[in-house]
Structure 1
């Protein structure tokens, strides 16, 4: 696993192989991460990453959030309640020397609590597959003020996901066993 593009392109991240099923660690492959960022940067619903605030829910190794930082995002907050995930994540943050522009929360992503800062313009959501945690996490993030208006959400799952209330579907792609759903937060009426 490595950083695909940007300032830290080629940086090798902590090696966890195919992941750790017990710890629900299933890192996004380099190929899928590259496809996600190509669509995010060059797609019809592109989002400028320069200066973006990123929220990485069910962060695991943090590869998605760290990739965003490498490509110009200003800050990334990582949320994961697994000890193995946070250990890999902290090792990856140190490898990238990104301590000053990151926060790591040991928290259940479906019960975030109130956000006390500005909302995030880009949200990565990679819950354990098939457990219906993604919609609960998005609902919590939206109701607790974590998601900025017009934010983009990149949601990985084992099957295509329907947009929950408050979000609109922008695109869906399949990469092997991974389905990626691109959403945008709708403006409140």
Structure 2
């Protein structure tokens, strides 16, 4: 059994590899504008090889443009920003979670604390901290926890904006690779 590459004449791209015992039957069933070319090398696969000047040639993808490279670095910064935002932050009564679900819970507890405080009512909540300890927060402590989480989120976004400015100012790949994607994020965990 022989292997054959089906090659489109218009762009010389190898569109598929087939095995057939009968070349004549294979040629009769080739799509219009295509030929079957003997191909015994299993490394030659569609999408990576073309038929040029009577032989197979590896397709070398074009180098990404500076805009494509900028987009890739920005995406990496966004991932790092989210990770930093969500890894938790220091508060007056210990380290608190800061992932999106925790931010939502903190916002709700802060609202309750503010309502109680505005109405002169007592407020106390046992809050589970990042280390799974339970810490009792009064209204002022809960509001301070909310402020700490909010400031942490804002600080992460501020660092990302600085990195984005550097990305936009970069004129070549060397300048882009010099950007420290993983560094400078606030309040990193110490473990």
User: TM (normalized to structure 1)?
Assistant: 0.19
Report 1 or 2 for greater relative contact order, CA contacts < 8 Å, sequence distance ≥ 6: 2
Greater Cα radius of gyration, structure 1 or 2: 2
